[in-house]
Amino acid sequence: MKIICVGLNYPRHADEIGMKAESAPVVFLKPDTALLRDNMPFYVPDWASRFDFETELVFRISRLGRHIEERFASRYYDSVGLGIDFTARDLQHELASKGQPWEICKAFDYSAAVSKLMPLTDLPPVKDMTFSLKVNGEERQKASASEMLHSIDSIISYVSRFFSLRIGDLIFTGTPTGVGPVKEGDRLEAELCGHKLLDFDIK
């Protein structure tokens, strides 16, 4: 499986990290070795100075497809959960300033925490989904899927022009404002529509 991620997909997040949202989705991939599941702890790597949390809605692809039209895109996912797109922020800026690919700051081992996924049938329509993140009990991120610049359906349509989608692929849909660094001893808890799906420690 592969993990397809969209960046800069909420209006105020681009501002807070000093980047510009584009008219087409910003897309990057993480390999399957980036997965961190079952609320296992995230161990802060030693090769960069700052690792940020980015809380995101994550959709699971349920059907093989390519060149998917937006109006049919909702047939291609069946469940959703929450993910943390861990990002070595200083390194990201350094790579971006040199015009280099940002894989090493975004796609390293265990950089994609993913919760259990919930069937869409157990949740409100995507546009009404809300999610939030607490760090050490304090709310740091809170958003509605309706704030996304590119909807999940338009993301699926766009990315499927370039990448065939396979059953089990995951799509990270971008983070709202409020990102910040993690440190050893932090506890991250995130809710989707009132269901606590993520609860894990930073070590």
**Site for Mg ion, rule CB under 5 A:** 54, 85, 175
Name the residue nearer to Mg ion (CB basis): 28 or 130: 28
**In 3D, which of 141, 144, 131 has the Cα closest to residue 196?**
131
Residue closer to Mg ion, measured from CB, 65 or 154: 154
First to last CA, the chain: 27
> Nearer to Mg ion by C-beta: 102 or 130?
102
SS3 69: coil
Rounded to whole angstroms, how far apart are CA atoms 39 and 35?
11
Nearer to Mg ion, 85 or 153 (CB): 85
User: DSSP state, 185?
Assistant: T
Q: How far is the CB of 166 from Mg ion (least distance, A)?
A: 21
Least Cβ distance, residue 67 to Mg ion (angstroms): 25
Query: Smallest distance from the beta carbon of 136 to Mg ion, in angstroms?
Result: 21
* Cβ–Cβ < 8 Å for 61, 77: yes
Q: Which residue is nearest to Mg ion (CB)?
A: 85
Q: List, in order, residues 6 or more apart from 58 with CB less than 8 Å away.
A: 80, 81, 82, 83, 114, 115, 117, 170, 171, 172, 173
Query: Whole-number minimum distance, CB 78 to Mg ion, in Å?
Result: 22
Shorter beta-carbon distance to Mg ion: residue 55 or 122: 55
Rounded to the nearest whole angstrom, what is the least distance from the CB of residue 7 to Mg ion in the complex? 5
